[in-house]
Chain A
């Protein structure tokens, strides 16, 4: 009996611990591998521009597209549209206002990275048909907005190389969260 128990225990411990691979990995094995093809349609573009697609655009083409796809909500002059059922954000203005009593937060005055504009337009705009624009169109629209904001020249081409290099006016405007504030402790 005793030896029987011993050998059973030995068998169990061998099963659980003796196999180095399974002991290290301990995976359930649920789910399936995701292939590069499946992942290709997803994107998220950090400030260094990693993941920006090929293609390019300029402000001239962007102006035409803007009138068609964006102006209804964001205004003919990128001034926004507060009308009921629309409520599109203002995109221009507010430079130099952030430290005043009436700060105006826009792409021009507040957004720290031009890559964020590309990422956001690509994922969520236009509001009535999100994700419907081509990469060339998005580069053009971004070029138009940045050009109207006088952040880039009207002739500059926006692409995977030039976009991350755009210096936004408020690029140094953000600080890490300093909370918790020690004076609020017992």
Chain B
């Protein structure tokens, strides 16, 4: 295998501009978060600022009761996905809201403010947004916070009119309505989806401040749907059908070619996400789910599957989502998302209030199977300690891990390292660049699964570093 020395990495104009704009967007996001914060002990605390609008609303409400002007409380704006209600001084002294007042579908608390952040591409219809991993609890991404990547906006599709065609090298081409699809036996499986562009700003130098920016194109959901294998039996496959084209019903009419072997192994035509219909941003009413494959292949708004003897060489699998190496050749159909992990607490833009006990926690995942183990280092990888796996390791699904740590107040570099059940160990950035070459940021921008480092300074501030 060819090797290249890891030399300095330069950005082309477009990549540089995009990275710069993302840095600015992240700065605006952080500024918004802290400007909305009010002075309180939490400001220098270990958790990033949150709960701004709500604390203000609380003050408004508390203050306004005193002056007899409760209407003031209504002026505070609810965070996305929430409804602003007046906050009583003592919720035990008055009745709460009546049952059913929400129309039968709940919203999140007005005190919860985490949101996705959009990457500031020039065009808002072809863009992506990051999941706030630093705020994520447990091992499931809230459906409304699932990362997005769209190439032609988010279509509105009437499920009663949506049809899936399955044709090409099949014995009997068929079409299926959503009602047809839901009649088949279903499977329910928990998997992560990760965009292969996750971390693309981080090849050259630490660029974004927060884990939302460096790793937020990762989300985990429970998906429900029909296995492709079930549909394949229904239509009958002809000999030689070795690829399947999946096509979306958005304005990009997104297409990718998927190896038949993968389709028959574990592909799901998913209509359910976390117990309800999948969100419009995630492909309502039907999406392809290819466990462990790069996010772009999980075609949303799925309307067509065409069985073929060859791949179709679509725009997305030639000009995009190919990994240009330093020797000028590009890897194609690099589908697997390899083992990766990241510490989400403490992570960039947080501040530890002082020496003492912290539960270091994060997420680990592999597109090739279960997470076998996670190691954590507090000395930039010189020594490693096995982390506790806090969730049950499922195939091709994130796990949450943690490690008890007593910080002595001295500078530290925190890292995590995932080993999956195949024995693959998450590499360092230097290892990846040694293999792929050094024109990373706009050559091989995809598939960065290197170990992430967070630097903890003596004052407790946490920053994104390369170590």
A47 to chain B, nearest CB (A): 5
Any B CB within 8 A of the CB of A178: yes
Any A CB within 8 A of the CB of B47: no
Q: A82-B122, A103-B443, A131-B253 are in contact. Are A44 and B338 (CB under 8 A)?
A: no
Asked if A34 and B167 sit within 8 Å, CB to CB, the answer is yes
Asked if A184 and B427 sit within 8 Å, CB to CB, the answer is yes
**Interface hits, B212-243 → A, CB 8 Å:** 233-234
Any A CB within 8 A of the CB of B109: no
Minimal Cβ-Cβ distance residue in A for B175: A34
Query: Could you list 7 examples of A-B contacts with CB < 8 Å?
Result: A27-B234, A44-B255, A44-B314, A99-B326, A105-B319, A123-B252, A130-B253
Q: Which residues of A contact B174 (CB under 8 A)?
A: 31-34
Any A CB within 8 A of the CB of B328: yes
Any B CB within 8 A of the CB of A45: yes
Any A CB within 8 A of the CB of B62: no
Interface residue ranges, B against A (CB under 8 Å): 1, 7, 9-10, 12, 14, 17, 121-126, 151-152, 165-167, 172-177, 180-181, 183-184, 233-234, 245, 247, 251-253, 255, 304, 306, 308, 310-315, 318-319, 322, 324, 326-336, 338, 368, 419, 422-425, 427, 431, 435, 438-439, 442-443
A149 to chain B, nearest CB (A): 13
Asked if A175 and B251 sit within 8 Å, CB to CB, the answer is no
Q: Which residues of B contact A120 (CB under 8 A)?
A: 314-315
Contact check: which of B233, B312, B419, B439 meets A103 at CB < 8 Å? Answer: B439
Lowest 5 CB-CB distances: which A-B pairs, in order? Answer: A87-B122, A99-B328, A87-B123, A98-B328, A123-B253
Asked if A103 and B442 sit within 8 Å, CB to CB, the answer is yes
Q: Which residues of B contact A99 (CB under 8 A)?
A: 326-328
B123 to chain A, nearest CB (A): 4
Asked if A177 and B425 sit within 8 Å, CB to CB, the answer is no
Q: Which residues of A contact B165 (CB under 8 A)?
A: 34, 38-39, 42
Q: Which residues of B contact A66 (CB under 8 A)?
A: none
Q: A110-B330, A178-B331 are in contact. List 7 more A-B contacts (CB 8 A).
A: A86-B122, A98-B328, A101-B439, A103-B12, A116-B314, A173-B330, A180-B368
Asked if A38 and B313 sit within 8 Å, CB to CB, the answer is no
Contact check: which of B12, B247, B331 meets A175 at CB < 8 Å? Answer: B331
Q: How far is the CA of A119 from the CA of B255 in the complex (A)?
A: 10
Q: A83-B122, A185-B423, A186-B425 are in contact. Are A31 and B310 (CB under 8 A)?
A: no
| Most chain A C-beta atoms within 10 Å of own C-beta, residue among B1, B10, B173 | B173
Any B CB within 8 A of the CB of A179: yes
Q: Which residues of A contact B255 (CB under 8 A)?
A: 44, 119, 123
Q: Which residues of B contact A46 (CB under 8 A)?
A: 308, 310-313
Any B CB within 8 A of the CB of A147: no
B222 to chain A, nearest CB (A): 24
Q: Which residues of A contact B308 (CB under 8 A)?
A: 46
Minimal Cβ-Cβ distance residue in A for B437: A99
Asked if B422 and A84 sit within 8 Å, CB to CB, the answer is no
B348 to chain A, nearest CB (A): 26
Asked if A44 and B245 sit within 8 Å, CB to CB, the answer is yes
Asked if A130 and B251 sit within 8 Å, CB to CB, the answer is yes
Chain B proximity mask over A67-104: 1 for CB below 8 Å, otherwise 0: 00000000000000011111100100000001111111
Asked if A181 and B329 sit within 8 Å, CB to CB, the answer is no
Asked if A31 and B319 sit within 8 Å, CB to CB, the answer is no
Chain B proximity mask over A167-179: 1 for CB below 8 Å, otherwise 0: 0000001111111
